[in-house]
Amino acid sequence: MKDQQYIYKPDNLIDSEPNKFKVSELKSEEMILNLGPQHPSTHGVLRLEVLSDGEIVKDVIPHIGYLHRCFEKHAESLPYNQVIPFVDRMDYVAAMNSEHAYAMGVERMLGITDQIPKRVEYIRVLVAEMNRIASHLIAVGTYGLDLGAFTPFFWVMRDREHILRLLEWASGARMLYNYIWIGGLFYDLPVGFEQRCREFIKYFRPKVKELQTILVDNKIFIDRTANVGVLPLDLAINSGITGPMLRASGLRFDLRRVDGYSVYPELEFEIPIGEGKMGQVGDCWDRTHVRVREIYESLKIMEQCLDQLEGDHKRTREFDPQAIVPKKIRPKAQELYVRAENPKGELGFFFRADGRSDIPFRCKARACSFVNLSILPEISRGVLIADLIAILGSIDIVLGEVDR
């Protein structure tokens, strides 16, 4: 026994096997390459195991398991209202959107959705769309960085900083907000917030146009992304792909329209889709272009929310954003799935309540980054290794949500 070594290899870890490709089975011209987790283009702690024939990718396997957040186990050991800070830490660049989805789910279980004040709903949509813009700026800016364009990255980080400062003013935190509460909000918007938002919109709209011209419509960028990583619509649907990736493949599917949650049915905005202007529908360029066009639509939504907050639903002294926040959250025994349109796709939460406890019996997160990443092998076979980086960047993942 003393000569034997016990190696702990849990069966439920995706990366429990060191490598999926076997060296003994390689042909003479094949190689196994590892990209990441130290590679600057793998967007966090992700390892891509690549089977290559020279510069051609024959197959690729994403390995995750380096950033496990244990979100679901945390959620099943805490009261419903104390889970929100953990929701923030999944997609940490779009925390407001994730909070919105989670809060709506618990409110539906409690049957208080119709009681949420309209001012609260407009504030929720306002901050969620601000966070959507911030997320898309990170997606587009880091994507340019992956492909060698440094300057646009500095631009988007500069403009994203304006959004983070506004959200910090409202919530007290830069990225992990705990602002959207079950039944309401942590606090009403600060005095002067609406005016500052309008100033930001006026400043930012020309900057988006500048980003479009310098990066997305740049000939070098087009040559690197057009006709690369084409995702056919039928494959996207069958694989459960959602968000800008699905819309870039040509389907006008957005949960803000399809499910019509919160006050989105009252707002006017377009759903951009990929049209194959520079290459094929569903390629890397289309995915980037859709995200940039969504920034314009989010600015429209912000303006409409501000109109409502300064008009029919303006601030009053007696308004309390915590008026219907439950002191004890104990839903009836039930199962419920709720979903929302996050910047990266459909974020869903499945709840099972036992009717006796204020702690979820089961809380399962359907993370859009995890599902979207699963398509990487299908759209990467036969491409150049340099194009593999372009494809990965176009998916726009956050590893906190992938390995939740």
Q: How far apart are CA 29 and CA 279, in angstroms?
A: 31
Residue of 48 and 39 predicted with greater confidence: 48
Mean pLDDT of 218-225: 95
Evaluate whether residue 166 is within a structural domain.
yes
Q: Residue 256 above 90 pLDDT?
A: yes
Residue of 30 and 166 predicted with greater confidence: 166
Q: Find the range with the poorest average confidence among 24-33, 57-66, 240-249.
A: 24-33
Instruction: Classify 22 in phi/psi space as left (phi over 0), alpha (psi -120 to 50) or beta.
Output: beta
Q: Which amino acid is at 51?
A: L
Positive or negative CA dihedral for 376, 382, 388, 393?
negative
Positive or negative CA dihedral for 113, 119, 120, 123?
positive
The residues pairing with 351 across neighbouring beta strands, listed in sequence order, are 336, 363
Q: How far apart are CA 139 and CA 120, in angstroms?
A: 28
Mean pLDDT of 32-60: 83
Evaluate whether residue 148 is within a structural domain.
yes
The set of residues, in sequence order, having a beta carbon less than 8 Å from that of 316 and lying 6+ positions away, is: none
Q: How far is CA 227 from CA 26, 163, 179, 390, in A?
A: 30, 33, 41, 11
pLDDT tens digits for 97-136?
999 999 999 999 999 999 999 999 999 999 999 999 999 9
Q: What is the DSSP secondary structure assignment for residue 331, as one 8-state letter?
A: P
Tokens matching residue 176: 């992990």
Q: Sorting pLDDT into bands at 50, 70 and 90, what band is 8?
A: very low
Mean pLDDT of 332-343: 96
Q: Sorting pLDDT into bands at 50, 70 and 90, what band is 43?
A: low
Residue of 29 and 205 predicted with greater confidence: 205
The residues pairing with 346 across neighbouring beta strands, listed in sequence order, are 341
Mean pLDDT of 138-159: 93
Q: Residue 18 above 90 pLDDT?
A: no
Q: Sorting pLDDT into bands at 50, 70 and 90, what band is 15?
A: very low
Write down the mean pLDDT value for the chain. Answer: 90
The set of residues, in sequence order, having a beta carbon less than 8 Å from that of 122 and lying 6+ positions away, is: 263, 305, 308, 309, 313
What pLDDT, on a 0 to 100 scale, did the predictor assign at position 3? 44
Q: Name the CA radius of gyration of the chain, rounded.
A: 22
Distance linking the first and last C-alpha atoms of the chain: 38
Closest CA to 338 of 350, 355, 354: 350
Structural domain total, the chain:
1
Q: Residue 329 above 90 pLDDT?
A: yes
Residue of 6 and 372 predicted with greater confidence: 372
Evaluate whether residue 84 is within a structural domain.
yes
What pLDDT, on a 0 to 100 scale, did the predictor assign at position 21? 72
Q: Residue 2 above 70 pLDDT?
A: no
* Cα 273 to the center of its chain, rounded Å: 18
Q: Sorting pLDDT into bands at 50, 70 and 90, what band is 255?
A: very high
DSSP letters, 26-71, are --TTEEEEEE-SS-TTS-SS-EEEEEEETTEEEEEEEE--SS---H
Q: Residue 375 above 50 pLDDT?
A: yes
Q: How far is CA 328 from CA 107, 320, 358, in A?
A: 13, 18, 7
Mean pLDDT of 63-90: 91
Mean pLDDT of 190-216: 96
* 260 CB neighbour count, 10 Å cutoff: 11
The set of residues, in sequence order, having a beta carbon less than 8 Å from that of 391 and lying 6+ positions away, is: 228, 229, 284, 376, 379, 380, 383
Q: Residue 182 above 90 pLDDT?
A: yes
What pLDDT, on a 0 to 100 scale, did the predictor assign at position 65? 79
Evaluate whether residue 178 is within a structural domain.
yes
Q: How far apart are CA 95 and CA 176, in angstroms?
A: 6
Q: Residue 4 above 90 pLDDT?
A: no
Give the predicted TM-score (pTM) of the model.
0.92
Residue of 399 and 22 predicted with greater confidence: 399
pLDDT tens digits for 271-286?
999 999 999 999 999 9
Q: Sorting pLDDT into bands at 50, 70 and 90, what band is 42?
A: low
Q: How far apart are CA 148 and CA 238, in angstroms?
A: 33
The residues pairing with 50 across neighbouring beta strands, listed in sequence order, are 33, 60
The residues pairing with 57 across neighbouring beta strands, listed in sequence order, are 52
Q: Sorting pLDDT into bands at 50, 70 and 90, what band is 228?
A: very high
* 108 CB neighbour count, 10 Å cutoff: 17
Mean pLDDT of 205-219: 95
Evaluate whether residue 130 is within a structural domain.
yes
Mean pLDDT of 341-364: 95
Tokens matching residue 142: 């880091």
Evaluate whether residue 291 is within a structural domain.
yes
**Do 186 and 124 meet the contact criterion of CB atoms below 8 Å apart?**
no
CATH of the domain at 237: 1.10.645.10
Q: Sorting pLDDT into bands at 50, 70 and 90, what band is 249?
A: very high
Percent of the chain residues topping a pLDDT of 70 = 93
What pLDDT, on a 0 to 100 scale, did the predictor assign at position 208? 96
Evaluate whether residue 24 is within a structural domain.
no
What pLDDT, on a 0 to 100 scale, did the predictor assign at position 336? 96
Evaluate whether residue 317 is within a structural domain.
yes
Domain extent, residue 153, equals 71-380
The residues pairing with 185 across neighbouring beta strands, listed in sequence order, are 180
